[in-house]
Amino acid sequence: MSTATKDKLILNKKNSLRYDLTKNAFAYRAIIPYVVFILVLVVYPVVQNIIISFQANGTWSLANYLDVLFDPLFHLITINTIIWTVSCVVLDLLVGLGLALLLNQDIKGGAVFRTIILVIPWATPDIVAAVAWKWMYNDMYGVLNDILMKLGIIDEYLPWLAVPNLARLAVIIANVWKGFAVSAMFYLAALQTVPQELYEAAAMDGANSWQRFTKVTIPVIRPYIITTVMLTIIWTINYFPLIFTMTNGGPANATDTFVTYAYRLAFRFLDFSHSTAVSNLNFIIVFTVAIIYTLSLVGKEE
């Protein structure tokens, strides 16, 4: 490449930047206030949270993180968070996809089923869902024990929220009830993008419905499944009101997650240093998933 063309290229680049600023002046004026707003209300607090977490006894220190990482309670809470997130995400995927397939059937009255199945759990405020489930799980007067007894599944009333493993199961079930609807909506929207001709072609080739599902449906909606699963991971890790209201992390910290633990440290014990350390560890995980998700989404937009 000759020097002249190189110069020309550089010149062009300079020009295009200035051109960009002039031509899109309106856009920049419209966007800059929002960027400033994000900086003040998002970036600054995040930085501040990091700074607080690295301070102990008036100096910079790793002490908060070391305290947290070597605390057996934190190990239990890490295991809780993994169990909680993995179970909820897998169940949201299975229930959400299964119901989306059912609701995608072209039948009369489909809209009514769709409203009941998708809108009721979704529109119920978190706190109300927690109240409703806490009452259903009540060991003496709860309707769940009664129904399970009548169905012969259990032979004595279970103290759902008082035994660690049962409590874990209980909050997971309640959360799947509250959360599957959003997954189902995404999958329903995804299923509607599958071209009908593909099914017809597969049927002509003699594929049965299971083969049509695995060979046509799944490959087409795979990107949407990945997107939805990543969003569900983020939402589930961060989800607070249900556990806080139903068990507040108990019994014996069995349902404590990073979020409920960090919240309790901050506002029950006023221990901001350790609370910020926990929330930052949680943040690293969420941020990683969020970045992967966002990049894949922006890639799709192009």
Partner 1 sequence: MKKKSWVKLIVYVALFIISGIIAFPFIWLIITAFKTYPDIYAYPILYFPQNITLEHFKYVFVNLGFSKYFLNSLLLGVGTAALTILISILPAYATIRFNFFMKKPVLLSILICQMFPQIVFIVPFFLFLKYTGLINTFLGTMVVYLPFTTPIAVWMIRNFFADIPKSLEESALIDGCSRFQAFYKISLPLVIPGIASVGIYTFIFSWSELMFSLSYLTSPSKQTVPVFLSLFIGQYQTRWGPLFAGSVVASLPPMIVFGFLQKYFIKGLTSGAVKQ
Site string for partner 1, 85-114 (x = CB under 8 A): --------------x--xx-xxx-----xx
Tell me how many residues contact partner 1 (CB under 8 A).
Answer: 102
* Of 141, 195, 214, 218, the one binding partner 1 by CB under 8 A: 141
**Contact flag: residue 84 with partner 1 (CB under 8 A):** no
CA distances from 39 to 43, 211, 279, 282 (A): 5, 50, 20, 21
Residues 38-67 that bind partner 1 (CB under 8 A): 38, 41-42, 44-46, 48-49, 52
Among residues 65, 84, 160, 283, the one that binds partner 1 under rule CB under 8 A: 283
Q: Closest approach of Cβ 288 to partner 1, in Å?
A: 11
Residue 183 buriedness (CB in 10 A; 0-12 / 13-18 / 19+): buried
Residue 156 or 301: which CB sits closer to partner 1? 301
Q: Of these, 127, 154, 201, 218, which contacts partner 1 (CB under 8 A)?
A: 127
Distance CA(275)–CA(216), nearest Å, equals 47
Nearer to partner 1 (CB atom), residue 4 or residue 51: 51
CB of 97 to partner 1, least distance (A): 14
| Binding of partner 1 by 171 (CB under 8 A) | no
Asked if 74 is part of the footprint of partner 1 (rule: CB under 8 A), the reply reads: no
Residue 153 makes contact with partner 1 by CB under 8 A: no
Residues forming beta bridges with residue 55, ordered by sequence position: 60
Residue 214 beta carbon to partner 1: minimum distance, rounded to whole angstroms:
18
Stretch that binds partner 1, among 6-14, 81-89, 163-171, 242-250 (CB under 8 A): 242-250
Residue 26 binds to partner 1 (criterion: CB under 8 A): yes
Q: Which stretch binds partner 1 (CB under 8 A): 67-75, 80-88, 116-124, 164-172?
A: 116-124
Minimum distance between the CB of residue 2 and partner 1, rounded to whole angstroms? 28
Should residue 186 be labelled a site residue for partner 1 when binding is judged by CB under 8 A? yes
Residues 251 and 163 sit within 8 Å (Cβ to Cβ): yes
Tell me whether residue 192 or residue 214 sits nearer to partner 1 (CB atom).
192
CB of 152 vs partner 1, minimal distance in Å: 16
